[in-house]
Amino acid sequence: MRTRTSFLALAMVAALAISGCGDDNNDNKKPSGPTPTRTTTPAQPPTQTPVDELSPTVTPTPEVSGATETPTPEPTPSGLVCEGTELYDTITSLAGSDLDVGWTGISHDSQATRDARITVNLDCPDGQNCTVDGSALVGTTFGSPLPLSAGGVSSCVINEFREAITGTYDCGSGCSESSVKLTSRVYLVVDQDKPCPPCVGDPTPNDGIKGGTCDGGKTPNAPCDVGGISDLFENAGGAPPNAGSTSNDCQPNGSPVGNLSIDLTPLTTGTVSVDAGVNCLNSTFGATCYCPGQVQPNSCINPSGVCPASGLCENNPPIGVCSGQKFRQCFLTGSPTADCEDIAPGAGRCEAQLQPCFGPSISRTGTCGTQQGVLASIFCIPATQAAAINTVAGLPGPGAALIPASQVRVPR
């Protein structure tokens, strides 16, 4: 018996983008933000009160309609909403994620990988309200390497489950709330076009068949099975073939420049909101920040240091981004193709855009759903020992994520 649904435990995907920021030589370091005060009022699932590092307030959202897939579920055992009281739950990330990292805004609007997949246990003693058991995942990798690039700084990130996934899930509504803790190993990379060595030519991700070959990395030309796809690189004009298709069979060269602890607590299908409440390290800014050691709230040029309601630094000069490769920055002066098409065929023309910013409050809204849904989380990211990463992304600083996800659950 199978039913496709959304599931909040997929929060791990969000950690992928955040992990691109690195934390040198510290496997266990994690940011310690303000003591959280959260209030969770689920529509159907049971109440959970985890300990967070920020101060989010979570409000569940109703089930979404109009999902892209509408499978016909098979009948469940009499009296049960779930397919049974003990289930396997296979979770797959979908396209359309949005990841905002750091206070500068340069690393906002990144993407997590789609088609990344994991399996957890659901224990549902009453046939509807379930607890999540992801203890078997500890020490294993989540998905495949994540390629990231912004402001001329590129990285490849490998994520590992540091602790068991825990949480609650409701079979009837698809509402969920989970805690996911990762260690993200960050590799600093020179090549903007392919931050992670791609797996080229594999037609079907995660089928266990190594139908492709590694393009570079520690094992060039080795057979590989794609484990996740970054559309930011996969669809970039002029980029190498399958640049966004990565595999754990294709590891990056060198050693990691940092090991970053990322705690997504909570990852929720509801709305999570956090107010700034930490003194900024730079006292010239009157506004408060989100994370310990954060220098300033944003990059906006105004006396108050407050991000406008538009979420854009309206008084700042615009920044340049290549139209065909959004990860590539460019100069707006001179030829519109000088830093784009002329050096990277397919990169297009240099286009102006205003720099995004975090305001005095950050809010993200997920979606419950029995076919597919959206996960939301807000978190702190510590500084690294790589000045280029800290400067471009704005670290230490906050991160926020929205991750679409689907799942298949079957009795175990």
Q: What is the residue extent of each domain of the chain?
A: 3-193+252-273+363-411
Q: How far is residue 101's CA from residue 154's CA, in Å, rounded to a whole number?
A: 14
The helix, strand and coil proportions of the chain, stated in percent and rounded to the nearest 5, come to 5, 35, 60
In angstroms and rounded to an integer, the radius of gyration of the C-alpha atoms of the chain is 21
Band the pLDDT of 65: cuts 50, 70, 90: very low
Q: What is the pLDDT of residues 223-255, one digit of tens each?
A: 999 999 998 888 776 677 788 999 999 999 988
Q: Which residue type occupies 152?
A: G
Q: How far is residue 383's CA from residue 392's CA, in Å, rounded to a whole number?
A: 12
Q: What is the pLDDT of residues 363-394, one digit of tens each?
A: 999 999 877 989 999 998 888 778 888 899 99
Lowest mean pLDDT among 27-36, 297-306, 348-357: 27-36
Q: Quick one: how far is CA 274 from the chain centroid?
A: 18
pLDDT of 184 strictly over 50: yes
For 182, the token pair is 């990762």
pTM for the complete prediction?
A: 0.80
